[in-house]
Structure 1
Amino acid sequence: MARYRGPRLRVVRRLGELPGLSRKTARKSYPPGQHGQARKKKTEYAVRLEEKQKLRFNYGLTEKQLLRYVKRARRAVGSTGQVLLQLLEMRLDNTVFRLGFAPTIPAARQLVNHGHITVNGKRMSISSYNCRPGDEISVRDRDNSRQLVETNLQYPGLANVPTHLELDKNKLTAKVNSIVEREWVALNVNELLVVEYYSRKA
């Protein structure tokens, strides 16, 4: 299944606030569609599916990519749900978004793909790159790259930079100090239900 490129507010209305997908908030509090206001009680499967879809749409992943992350999280030591969130949060596109270099994760992905970002002094165009503690992320020393990021920094997607990141706004550089902690994950999601969704399918 290809990456979602349809109307974002429709997804926000259906799943709730997704800070990585869009900065806009839905004016209507009920889901879209003819029966949006008259929805029946959700089944257990529907609740798990909804939580999984939140992760998919917020981080801009395909189903195949998310399944791969779940398998990696299962192999790692610790709580599978927490490790899954850490893997997704430490992606380069999400890190660029959390630093305020881009207003949304899709915009951050475009910034990375177009070669505006460097990691440890080398140009990095792979948005799924897994940032590690000690990595230095900076904007390429070109006028259009710096101008683009400086404009975005005036209106960041999220107000606060997480504690695992250290940002120097003047030099447009940042350092990854550690792995992200659970309380700094901006998305309101129950990761255990996502793990349960995949454990029942596998």
Structure 2
Amino acid sequence: MARYTEAKCRICRREAGKLFLKGDRCFTDKCAYERRPYAPGMHGRARKKMSDYAVQLREKQKVRRMYGILEAQFHDYFVEADRQHGVTGTNLLRLLELRLDNVIYRMGFTNSRNQARQLVRHGVFVLNGHKVTVPSLQLKPGDTITVREKNRKIPVIMEAQEVIARRGLPAWLEVDGANFKGTVKDRPVREDIQFPISESLIVELYSK
């Protein structure tokens, strides 16, 4: 599967905002976006007038890259969000938030969504008592995620639990750090998603 393998900090600079792709580094003074808050490249500082379409496209790209999803997958999520009852933009963000890899990241078991995907594929986590290896699984209220006992001393997991206080735990999740266990208490609402996202721009883009 095609994945972006270059410097992740360039993505944040391109999208003109923190996407929190580098874990705890994003909360320190080492953050590349904090040091150079302009687009990469020799013309990065130039002021550019953007069309409405360009603004909508950049917003879609920002969200897609934040969650680490390919173009076709993201479009499928939009189609599903549009099919559901309620506000399409909110439905889209809820589907993205309820992905297994995102929930693991939000629970503080990894420093980034990319780390969560890698560990899920290696069978590090158990969902409702069963080993899972599919990062895109959609979770629902009542689902429980546990780190397998033999994997609890993985440095990435131990480090992530030490810095979860920097990110904060969403109200719709519950975590028992001592037992490496987390539970989805409820479906997230729009107020639970604090990232600077204008989902209405994405809806406008796909509605053309």
Per the normalisation by structure 1, the TM-score is: 0.93
CA deviation digits over 1:114-137, x for unaligned, max 9?
Answer: 111010000011000001001011
Q: What do you get for the CA RMSD once the two structures are aligned?
A: 1.4
Unaligned runs of 5+ in 2: none
Q: Deviating runs (4+, > 6 A) in structure 1?
A: none
The 3-state SS of whatever aligns with 1:147 is coil
Cα distance in structure 2, aligned partners of 1:85 and 1:110: 22
Cα distance in structure 2, aligned partners of 1:5 and 1:52: 20
Cα distance in structure 2, aligned partners of 1:194 and 1:69: 12
The 3-state SS of whatever aligns with 1:134 is coil
The 3-state SS of whatever aligns with 2:175 is strand
- Shift, 1:158, TM fit: 5.0
Equivalent in 28, 36, 40 of residue 32 of structure 1: 40
- Counting only pairs closer than 5 Å after superposition, residues 1-202 of structure 1 correspond to structure 2 as 2-15=2-15, 16-19=17-20, 21-23=21-23, 24=26, 25=31, 26=33, 27-142=35-150, 145-148=151-154, 149-156=157-164, 158-200=166-208
- Shift, 1:186, TM fit: 3.8
Counterpart AA for 2:92: L
Cα distance in structure 2, aligned partners of 1:117 and 1:152: 15
CA deviation digits over 1:49-107, x for unaligned, max 9?
Answer: 11001111110000000000000001000000000000000000000000010001001
Number of residue pairs aligned between Structure 1 and Structure 2: 197
Unaligned runs of 5+ in 1: none
Cα distance in structure 2, aligned partners of 1:159 and 1:45: 32
Counterpart AA for 2:115: A
% same residue:
41
Cα distance in structure 1, aligned partners of 2:59 and 2:169: 25
